[in-house]
Amino acid sequence: MSGNAASASAVPADAPAGSAASGSAPPADLPPADLPSGGAASGGGSSGIVKPLPAEWFVAHGTNAEMRWEALRAADGSAAVGRHVPVERFFVRNHTGTPLIDPGAWRLRLYGSGLRGAPTAERPVEFDLAGLRALPETRISAVIECAGNGRDYFRRQQGQSVPGTPWTLGGIGSAAWRGVRLAEVLRAAGLTGEAVDVLPTGLDANYVVDGVDHGPVRRPLPVAKALDDALLAYEMNGAPLTPDHGAPLRLVVPGWVGIASIKWVGTIEVADHPLHSPWNTDFYRMFGPDHPPGGGEPLTAQVVRSAFELAPGAVLEAGRSHRLHGRSWSGAAAVRRVEVSSDGGRTWRRAALHGGSHADDWARWSVDWRPERPGRYELRARATDRRGNSQPERAVFNREGYLFGAVVAHPVTVV
């Protein structure tokens, strides 16, 4: 690479294996990562995450922070979070730690055989932030969701043990993103008709797990998706990106697993042949008895899921009506219908959708429930999208615990 102007300060490469894909034990009891050097003292503790992670908003998982669904409701039951999750409450999924990048020195560098003149990594096509902001802007509303979201339910509901971050359902958030379409930047950089794959690479530290250095986080994106709706975002919820969410520039790939949405993008290779990285060969593919012998295709679209804005084990009063709130989403289409059961899945009632339902974003809903008798109950929510995808009773096992899309049993106690 020509002059490392991006000056990323990153954590050492021996950060804990918080990876959805690592073959090691869940990160909860791993030694803490070192802080990013050079100014991350404003927060972060041992997680490598810069922003504060108050326990009422987040569950800490090593280098990652899960959003608590119950925190979307205020104590009086009113909404604490609208369609978009405020940046300070947004979940964080880092393979290593948040790098601090000087936006003035930063450049986006594009190179490869899929660009006119096949610029090399040493003599790339460059954009600075002002150059990107000068291109036509696009605003979208979209969720980013980790492929491992819901992973712990393989264990809790199906008795299957899987390694990696034990997310419940809080590895997701919706935000308003503003930026420039990746298509726009690729064309400005001289995209040819021969291009096949696009490889954005993050400026965070190399991902090292079990003594293997996998290099920086990077994952090839087929050119068709790159040209369709991928966004190079410089703003989140109306303000410049913050360090934890990819400042100064991140990819947002609507509908796809979160790993596609590379943060802290420094380079983009554009190739006239298929590209590979551990993130589309070893990680983020399905392995196991129900998948092809060599593993499934690299994961793309997310599954349908639903969550209640309610603490697990919440206590509710008998003999009165409670308004239960939740959200549902799908990587394939907008949510069409949500049903809720309070009797173990025997009977289902339609929930009312609020605020519309849009592709790439979650739909908010509510349903009233009046439990007459004290006791323990399990609430279930099940969504169906406009393509007819719904949530099964059981998720298909895969070794790394990706894409748990089955209906989740949410325990509550009525007193």
- The listed partner (ligand MTE, Mo ion, none) that binds 270, CB under 5 to 8 Å by sort, is none
Compute the C-alpha angle 407/412/415, nearest 5°.
155
Please answer whether residues 112 and 218 qualify as being in contact, where contact means their C-beta atoms are separated by less than 8 angstroms. no
The verdict on 264 binding ligand MTE (CB under 6 A) reads yes
* Phi and psi angles of residue 46, each rounded to the nearest 5 degrees, phi first: -95, 0
Q: Of 28-36, 90-98, 330-338, 371-379, which part binds Mo ion (CB under 5 A)?
A: 90-98
375 C-beta neighbours (distance < 10 Å), count: 11
- The listed partner (ligand MTE, Mo ion, none) that binds 316, CB under 5 to 8 Å by sort, is none
For residue 206, which amino acid is it?
N
Give strand ranges (E) for 136-227. 138-145, 172-181, 197-202, 208-209, 212-213, 221-222
The verdict on 92 binding ligand MTE (CB under 6 A) reads yes
Q: Which is nearer to Mo ion, 259 or 333 (CB)?
A: 259
Going by DSSP bridges, is the β-strand pair 363-369/231-236 parallel, antiparallel, or unpaired? unpaired
- The listed partner (ligand MTE, Mo ion, none) that binds 95, CB under 5 to 8 Å by sort, is ligand MTE
Supply the minimum distance, in Å, between the C-beta of residue 400 and ligand MTE: 12
Q: Which residue has the tokens 């934890």?
A: 244
Among 109, 263, 285, 305, binds ligand MTE (CB under 6 A): 263
Please answer whether residues 389 and 330 qualify as being in contact, where contact means their C-beta atoms are separated by less than 8 angstroms. yes
Closest residue to bound Mo ion by CB: 146
Q: Which is nearer to ligand MTE, 37 or 206 (CB)?
A: 206
For Mo ion, the binding residues in 346-405 under the rule CB under 5 A are none
Peptide bond just before 36 cis, omega within 30 deg: no
Supply the minimum distance, in Å, between the C-beta of residue 324 and Mo ion: 28
180-219 footprint of ligand MTE as x/- string (CB under 6 A): ----------------------x-x------------x--
Q: Which is nearer to Mo ion, 64 or 341 (CB)?
A: 64
Supply the minimum distance, in Å, between the C-beta of residue 377 and ligand MTE: 32
The verdict on 258 binding Mo ion (CB under 5 A) reads yes
Supply the minimum distance, in Å, between the C-beta of residue 217 and ligand MTE: 4
Please answer whether residues 166 and 61 qualify as being in contact, where contact means their C-beta atoms are separated by less than 8 angstroms. yes
Supply the minimum distance, in Å, between the C-beta of residue 49 and ligand MTE: 9
User: How far from chain centre, in Å, is Cα 327?
Assistant: 16
Going by DSSP bridges, is the β-strand pair 265-271/108-111 parallel, antiparallel, or unpaired? parallel
The verdict on 221 binding ligand MTE (CB under 6 A) reads no
The verdict on 95 binding ligand MTE (CB under 6 A) reads yes
Please answer whether residues 89 and 82 qualify as being in contact, where contact means their C-beta atoms are separated by less than 8 angstroms. no
* Distances in whole angstroms, Cα of residue 7 to Cα of each of 4, 38, 40, 235: 6, 11, 14, 21
Please answer whether residues 378 and 344 qualify as being in contact, where contact means their C-beta atoms are separated by less than 8 angstroms. yes
The verdict on 93 binding Mo ion (CB under 5 A) reads yes
- The listed partner (Mo ion, ligand MTE, none) that binds 329, CB under 5 to 8 Å by sort, is none
Q: Please state, in angstroms and rounded to a whole number, the distance separating the CA atoms of residues 152 and 161.
A: 8
Q: Which residues bind Mo ion (CB under 5 A)?
A: 93, 146, 258-259
Q: Which residues bind ligand MTE (CB under 6 A)?
A: 90-95, 144, 146, 202, 204, 217, 245, 258-259, 261-264
